[in-house]
């Protein structure tokens, strides 16, 4: 079986196509790819049956470390998932549903997304929400793009306390655009307000912040929002949705656009995905929102119905008017978020948030008592906090992994000079016994 079996073009046609794009050969076409990264052969094994393939996948999965006690956070969190979420989201009408191009055939999906939007607006205290995005990092980048469109400016300020993954995605989004990103280095794990005042001027489109931030510190941006608005810019805040059970909402702080990752709302960790991103904003900016917005209406008989009120990608409108290339949103994951918020309710979310905070405060005090441990105390925290250790954090984490403890996120890879800093996260799933065991092992690791 030769290559022509797989290629629908003759050698003459291939040669003609190559000449049109100005290259002499297929090899020259792929020249920008380093030789070391090119696949010489896929070296695939012989075909297997479904049963054999499943057994092979199980064997591979068996190599994963099991039974770790998880104190890792940094954007992805080990929360309880009520059983009702798997039950309802697994129903065929939701589980097999695709993007709702034809509203007359998709009323159930559209209603679920409409209710999701309502829940996100109530959670964030803002006016409008879209029907979800891919994840928290891309939601942050989409919000920055919104601010650039709204203000017509081309400079943004990013707090260095914003999640490093979000900052990296943001820079990738803006790489080929005429946009300047001004990043402010953290000061004691907080936004350096003096430096912000120095760089803020009438050319700034937005300030991007996070609450609680990557170090776990809680801030109140109310006065800061007034300062940013006085300069004609917008405030974009990335938020941890569980914390909003007890913290001031973005809307209450004067934030213009709120974003975040919905993994903590009823979605499992699953090695980092899938999840969904949420975005909400003030009504004045609705036509600059990415993706889709589901609206409620009535038909000619006066019966309630749901439609896609806003579809803002190139497939639906003129390319120059499109706000984003996001297409199919993470509808199933967003549905899980809606079921989670609906099942726990307003008071349940507050109780859950308090449980996270209280357990984290116990762990913070317990760990602070260990010789060689200092806790960052520049601001209150929710369920994450930063430790400074007497030894390199990555070595300590590697040692504790062997003892069955995933101790946290070492900061040395993200912030220069922070090699001995560690972010620890305590959710409602962590027991007093687990926290005490962690403290005992950490003390032993630092004393040896």
Same domain? 188 vs 240: yes
Domain containing residue 313: CATH number: 3.40.640.10
User: What pLDDT shows up at residue 1?
Assistant: 38
Model confidence over 123-146: pLDDT tens digits? 999 999 999 999 999 999 999 999
Q: What is the CA radius of gyration of the chain?
A: 25
User: What pLDDT shows up at residue 168?
Assistant: 97
270 located within any domain: yes
Of 5 and 393, which is predicted with more confidence?
393
Dihedral sign computed on CA atoms, order 318, 322, 326, 331: negative
58 located within any domain: no
Same domain? 269 vs 407: no
329 located within any domain: yes
Report the residue count for the chain.
448
Q: Cα dihedral angle (260, 261, 266, 271), rounded to 10 degrees?
A: -160
Which of 341, 362, 391 is a domain's end point? Answer: 341
User: What pLDDT shows up at residue 2?
Assistant: 42
7 pLDDT tier (thresholds 50, 70, 90): low
| CA 324 to chain CA centroid, nearest Å | 17
Same domain? 385 vs 316: no
Which of 318, 341, 364 is a domain's end point? Answer: 341
Same domain? 306 vs 430: no
Which of 279, 308, 341 is a domain's end point? Answer: 341
Structure tokens at 124: 């964030």
406 located within any domain: yes
Same domain? 132 vs 184: yes
Structure tokens at 371: 């010789």
Residue carrying the six token digits 């199980």: 58
Closest CA to 225 of 142, 323, 126, 153: 126
Same domain? 113 vs 245: yes
Distance CA 362, CA 354 (A): 12
Same domain? 240 vs 371: no
User: What pLDDT shows up at residue 327?
Assistant: 62
3 pLDDT tier (thresholds 50, 70, 90): very low
Phi and psi torsions of 222, nearest 5°? -60, -55
Same domain? 259 vs 309: yes
Model confidence over 378-407: pLDDT tens digits? 999 999 999 999 999 999 999 999 999 999
Q: Mean pLDDT over residues 179-202, rounded?
A: 98
Distance CA 206, CA 257 (A): 10
- Helix residue spans in 125-190 (DSSP H): 136-151, 164-174
372 located within any domain: yes
Domain containing residue 369: CATH number: 3.90.1150.10
pLDDT of 375 above 60: yes
Same domain? 425 vs 330: no
Tally of domains within the chain: 2
Structure tokens at 305: 């119905």
Same domain? 73 vs 146: no
28 located within any domain: no
Cβ(68)–Cβ(60) below 8 Å: no
Closest CA to 353 of 255, 264, 238, 263: 264
Q: Mean pLDDT over residues 344-368, rounded?
A: 98
Q: What is the mean pLDDT of the chain?
A: 92
**Distances, alpha carbon 357 to alpha carbons 221, 344, 349, 381, in Å:** 20, 17, 12, 8
Model confidence over 66-120: pLDDT tens digits? 789 999 999 999 999 999 999 999 998 888 877 777 777 889 889 999 999 999 9
51 located within any domain: no
Same domain? 180 vs 105: yes
436 located within any domain: yes
- Domain residue limits at 128: 83-341
Distance CA 189, CA 134 (A): 28
Q: 164-174 and 136-151 helices cross at what angle (nearest 10)?
A: 50
36 pLDDT tier (thresholds 50, 70, 90): confident
Distance CA 120, CA 127 (A): 9
Q: Mean pLDDT over residues 148-163, rounded?
A: 97
Same domain? 361 vs 415: yes
């Amino acid at each position: 079986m030769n290559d022509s079996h797989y290629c629908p073009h003759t050698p003459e046609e291939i040669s003609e196509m190559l000449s049109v794009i100005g290259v002499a050969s297929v090899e020259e076409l792929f020249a920008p790819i380093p030789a070391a990264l090119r696949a010489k052969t896929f070296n695939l094994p012989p075909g297997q049956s479904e049963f054999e393939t499943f057994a092979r996948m199980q064997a591979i999965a068996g190599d994963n470390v099991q039974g770790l006690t998880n104190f890792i956070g940094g954007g992805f969190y080990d929360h309880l998932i009520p059983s009702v979420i798997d039950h309802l989201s697994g129903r065929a009408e939701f589980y097999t549903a695709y993007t709702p191009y034809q509203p007359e055939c998709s009323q159930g999906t559209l209603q679920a997304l409409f209710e999701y939007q309502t829940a996100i607006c109530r959670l964030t205290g803002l006016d409008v929400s879209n029907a979800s995005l891919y994840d928290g990092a891309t939601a942050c980048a989409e919000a920055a793009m919104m601010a650039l469109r709204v203000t017509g400016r081309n400079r943004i300020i990013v707090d260095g306390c914003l999640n490093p993954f979000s900052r990296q995605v943001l820079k990738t989004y803006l790489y080929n655009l005429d946009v300047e990103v001004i990043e402010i280095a953290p000061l004691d794990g907080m936004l350096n307000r003096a430096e912000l005042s120095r760089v803020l001027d009438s050319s700034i489109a937005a300030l991007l912040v996070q609450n609680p931030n990557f170090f776990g510190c809680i801030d109140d941006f109310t006065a800061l929002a007034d300062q940013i608005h006085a300069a004609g810019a917008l405030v974009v805040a990335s938020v941890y949705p569980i914390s909003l059970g007890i913290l001031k909402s973005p809307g209450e702080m004067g934030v213009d656009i709120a974003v975040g990752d919905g993994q903590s709302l009823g979605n499992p960790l699953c090695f980092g995905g899938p999840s969904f991103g949420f975005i909400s904003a003030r009504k004045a900016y609705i036509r600059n929102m990415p993706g889709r917005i589901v609206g409620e209406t009535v038909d000619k008989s006066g019966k309630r119905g749901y439609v896609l009120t806003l579809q803002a990608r190139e497939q639906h409108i003129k390319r120059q008017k499109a706000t984003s290339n996001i297409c199919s949103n993470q509808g199933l994951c967003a549905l899980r978020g809606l079921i989670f918020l609906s099942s726990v309710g307003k008071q349940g979310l507050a109780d859950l948030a308090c449980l996270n905070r209280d357990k984290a405060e116990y762990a913070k005090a317990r760990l602070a008592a260990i010789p060689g441990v200092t806790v960052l105390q520049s601001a209150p925290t929710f369920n994450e906090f930063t430790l400074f250790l007497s030894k390199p954090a990555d070595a300590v984490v590697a040692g504790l992994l062997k003892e069955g403890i995933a101790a946290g996120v070492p900061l040395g890879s993200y912030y220069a000079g922070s090699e001995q800093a560690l972010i620890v996260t305590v959710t409602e799933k962590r027991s007093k016994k687990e926290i005490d065991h962690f403290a005992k092992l950490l003390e032993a690791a630092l004393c040896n």
